[in-house]
Structure 1
Amino acid sequence: MVHLRSTALVLAGSIAASNALVAQTFRDNIKSVVVLIQENRSFDWFFGDLSYSTEIDNLRNLKRQLCNPANVTSPNGSSICATNSAANVSPDDPNHSVTGVAFQIFGTFHPDETVSPAELLKAETMIGFLQEEENVLKSSNLSVAGETINFISEDKIPVFRTMAENFVLFDRWFADVPGPTDPNRAYITSGASHGHGQNDNGFSTFSLPQRSIFQQLDENGITWTNYFNSSFNPDAEFYTWTQTEGKVATNVKPIENFFADAKAGKLPQFTYINPECCSFDSMHPPSPINTGEAWTKSIYEAVRGGPQWKNTLFLIAFDEHGGFADHVPPPVNVPNPDGLTYTETAGDGKNYTFDFNRLGVRVPALVISPWVKKGAIEHDGINGEGLTYTHSSLAAFISKLWNLDGGKPLTSRVAWASSFEHLITNTFREDTPLVLPNPAAD
């Protein structure tokens, strides 16, 4: 496999050994898992301005500016460089189709994927975000298209900034698909998308036949609920099994039930939360960042203030980058979990077939618990075949936590992804914030 950080391979053995005690006891400390997946922001867009640690691989700490040319064939021509001036409400929703993302990453809709993994990784120049936004807007107004390059000031995300400062921040967590929401949410919940590369009707008609984490949990005797907010289709309803086994009536519930269950200490062992989309709390454009922060704050405070907090791990991540720029090339040469491919027509009118063999763009991710270190920065993983964090890391983690299927990974992508049980310490923290700051004003 190809990685940007060879040190992960060198250090993996010693780190694993030093965490042997943790690996033996994390099951004693974590009894419930809560997962919230927000929408459509890249790591650089959202966390590019964080200043509390120089270890974070973000734009503030980058030793160069992130710039994109107006035309990728003229890299020395007109360009836009990123500034921390992104707005609370994004004026546009950048393209995040499979072919659009290919252009953003490679500067072409049709990357040559016959080359070696090292050469393919080198071809990921990350300079096509600006031009692809020009393509979508059908405009050469660079100040408008440049919104896809800019990132948000840390002053505008006090809720997420405070969570990052107090818990574990991942700065190399990648979407599993270089494409849109639903295929990535399928990887989060099943380690595959059954060949789906767009947000098609299959996701709203229980059409995905593969085994999901919900089915896996259920068959292993682990309680679960998918709480959902308003219009967003609950991710558990992607799957045929959820419908045929009658789980919609018993395990898929409105978000109001989450708040009541959290307060009463009656959350299941596994809680999965869907936001609405895309007006006020999901952060998917045009959803305002501050209303998304307010909703996330309410979820955090419900978990933190509930009686189950002392044995809870809370994972927050974003499903994909939403077309917003990032400077880190995603890993390539990753396993296709089901052998299926996806074909779509690119912006140049030609077809492109994706083999699900490379990852999507970095996204924000946090692990929150009284059992993790304060302000820790997590880079590459230390286990899994790829030593890399992806959305499939969730399935890898819960498989180890509850010994699902005797520890057998759900798919080859789950086997490739790193799990994160080594982040759980044997020290219970009393200093975790009970209340988070109020969101910034619009």
Structure 2
Amino acid sequence: MDLQFEHVVVLMLENRSFDHLFGYLGKGEGVPPQGFVNTLRSGGTETPFTTRKAGDFIAVGQGPSHSLKQTNEQLFGVTKPTPEQSAQVPPMTGFVQSFYTSLSYDLRRHPTDHELQQVMNCFDPVQIPVLSELARSFVLCDHWFSDVPGPTMPNRAFVHAATSQGYTYNADWKPKFTCKTIYDRINADPALSWRVYSHDEDDVHELYPDLDKNAANHVPFEVNFTADVADDRLATYSFITPAFIGSPQHPVNSMHAPADIRPAEKLVADIYQALKSAPEVWKKTLFIIVFDECGGYFDHVPPPACVSPDGIPGRTDESFLVPFDFQRLGLRVPTILVSPWLQPGLDSTVYSHSTIPGSIIEAFQLPGGFLTKRDEMAAKLTAKYLVRDAARVWREDVPDLVIPVQPTSLDDMQRELLNGSVNLDPHPEQRNTLRTQDIQDPAQAKAFIRTQYAKHMEHFLARRKIDDGAAPGSLTTDRALPSTMISPARVAELVSQEPKRGLRP
């Protein structure tokens, strides 16, 4: 084939649904003016939680769950749908219900309505200027679905091999897959090449021990990617994994909750700028930004049916696993195709992660053919984008990106003080550093410490008053959200309502 591009660069970010990131972008099938509603019980009549134009940079707890069981609950309202339920169009009303389950576990208490609202919140485009600008300026795919209604590892397996060989869970990243991958297909053509750029985790190296690879195939992203672009040394196919583990110098930039999403915006902008700064390379490179799965965040589009990749059923050898036949896709995720050869547009074709290996195999006519039935049957990017089209015009009007202000990380001393502040909590069950491990921003840490101090002092002062003879009652403020300032009114309420023994640390 006469191809438009010699290089394809794929960045797979983490855990965001289409509505969550682009529901209010005004491009594609997003959130209508009336919004969407979930309730605490799927399909119930409790207080409604409505989609809102206000995303959260940092998630509460560990963020929404996205296991197969919890994704089932988000879709159908039950963790183990019957065959009859699975055959129906899912109502998409269980996101709050599912989040309540996972957040109660994370916080060891009942979540507040404000906390539960996070799963329904959708970003205002001004909050994510990099992704919003690229989605407006290039091709936004608004019906791209993850391949598995479950977590990270099986979905990353599909982008590499169009199967997860029956895995629907992360399995501690210990599976050693025996299937062939897109990289095996590329190896079969000596004229082509591949390279994985990683920040810490390298799932290609870890999951495929039989893959023929060398040191040149696996390199750190820092320095290497920009240098390869500048020196016109990009491989035919490049796969970039973000940072899952953060440090003050290099924060998590995967977008995986609960971490702040703004470093991922910077990563996208850095890749874009590296390509844009090398025009001759830019002219022959397609940059694909995709997300592995929805991360449990609300989306309103039901996943469609699909073909099983290889007839291998979902594993049920662990007690927490539920059956799955791989004949329906996961939830919708944002995907952007970036190249100055492409006019701003919207592609509503139903794609999945298997589209990527299928398209590469088809476009470059790789020996061995498709990997599984899934990439064979998946819609391809080949004819629309990869094959040269004389009508395409190189654009000079591509945008410059504005990177959002990045969060400032805590140093070791600040982290120690933050963790220690949980011991000020008057409720013993809350003295757990799990509450602080998600906090990365100093301003958020300061507010947390001041809140802990205020709670401690309120209970201390109330206890003193009771010791001086005030009559105790029954506490109703255990789960109230205290201010960062000491409240005399709250102290008085504690005096009047809390049993004397309940105020003891």
TM-score scaled by structure 2? 0.73
Give the aligned residue type for 2:8. Answer: V
| Unaligned runs of at least 5 residues, structure 1 | 1-23, 381-387
Q: Quote the residue 1:13 is aligned against.
A: none
Which residue of 131, 134, 148 maps to 2:97?
Answer: 131
Is residue 146–residue 331 contact of structure 2 (8 Å, CA) maintained in 1?
Answer: yes
Give the ranges of 4+ consecutive aligned residues of structure 1 lying more than 4 Å apart after TM superposition.
none
Q: Quote the residue 1:262 is aligned against.
A: 229
RMSD: 2.0
Which residue of 413, 416, 430 maps to 2:395?
Answer: 430
2:243 counterpart of 1:276: yes
TM-superposed deviation, 1:106? 0.7
- What is the percent sequence identity of the aligned residues? 30
SS in structure 1 of the partner of residue 66 of structure 2: coil
SS in structure 2 of the partner of residue 36 of structure 1: strand
Aligned residues: 389
TM-superposed deviation, 1:343? 2.4
SS in structure 2 of the partner of residue 352 of structure 1: coil
Q: Quote the residue 1:419 is aligned against.
A: 380
Structure-to-structure mapping, 1:22-33, within 5 angstroms: 25=2, 27=3, 29-33=4-8
SS in structure 2 of the partner of residue 283 of structure 1: coil
Give the aligned residue type for 1:237. Answer: E
Q: Quote the residue 2:145 is aligned against.
A: 174
2 CA distance for matches of 1:238 and 1:50? 36
Is residue 335–residue 416 contact of structure 1 (8 Å, CA) maintained in 2?
Answer: no
Q: Quote the residue 2:480 is aligned against.
A: none
Give per-residue Cα distances to partners, 1:267-323, cap 9 Å, x unaligned. 111111110115421111122222110111001111222231111111110001111
2:328 counterpart of 1:358: yes
Q: Quote the residue 1:192 is aligned against.
A: 163
Which residue of 301, 311, 315 maps to 1:342?
Answer: 315
Give per-residue Cα distances to partners, 1:32-56, cap 9 Å, x unaligned. 11110001101110111103x4xx1
Give per-residue Cα distances to partners, 1:238-266, cap 9 Å, x unaligned. 10223xx3x14231111121111111111
SS in structure 1 of the partner of residue 313 of structure 2: coil
- Deviation larger for 354-363 or 304-313: 304-313
1 CA distance for matches of 2:338 and 2:205? 23
2 CA distance for matches of 1:434 and 1:253? 29
Which residue of 230, 250, 262 maps to 1:290?
Answer: 262
Which residue of 7, 18, 23 maps to 1:48?
Answer: 23
1 CA distance for matches of 2:306 and 2:7? 33
- Deviation larger for 124-133 or 307-316: 307-316
TM-superposed deviation, 1:401? 1.5
TM-superposed deviation, 1:344? 7.2
2 CA distance for matches of 1:417 and 1:393? 5
1 CA distance for matches of 2:47 and 2:399? 48
Structure-to-structure mapping, 1:143-222, within 5 angstroms: 143-201=114-172, 203-204=173-174, 207-221=176-190, 222=192
TM-superposed deviation, 1:111? 1.3
TM-superposed deviation, 1:136? 1.3
Larger relative contact order, structure 1 or 2 (CA cutoff 8 Å, min sep 6) = 1
TM-superposed deviation, 1:428? 3.1
Is residue 105–residue 128 contact of structure 1 (8 Å, CA) maintained in 2?
Answer: yes
Q: Quote the residue 1:18 is aligned against.
A: none
- Deviation larger for 77-86 or 179-188: 77-86
Which residue of 235, 239, 252 maps to 2:218?
Answer: 252
TM-score scaled by structure 1? 0.83
Give the aligned residue type for 1:396. Answer: G
1 CA distance for matches of 2:320 and 2:357? 35
Closer, same or farther in 2 for the Cα pair 1:155/1:434, shift >3 Å?
Answer: closer
* Higher Cα Rg, which structure: 2
Give per-residue Cα distances to partners, 1:114-137, cap 9 Å, x unaligned. 57xxx7242x01000001111112
2:370 counterpart of 1:395: no
SS in structure 2 of the partner of residue 169 of structure 1: strand
TM-superposed deviation, 1:157? 0.9
1 CA distance for matches of 2:238 and 2:277? 16
Closer, same or farther in 2 for the Cα pair 1:140/1:286, shift >3 Å?
Answer: closer
| Unaligned runs of at least 5 residues, structure 2 | 105-109, 247-251, 408-505
Is residue 65–residue 82 contact of structure 1 (8 Å, CA) maintained in 2?
Answer: yes
Which residue of 361, 369, 382 maps to 2:339?
Answer: 369
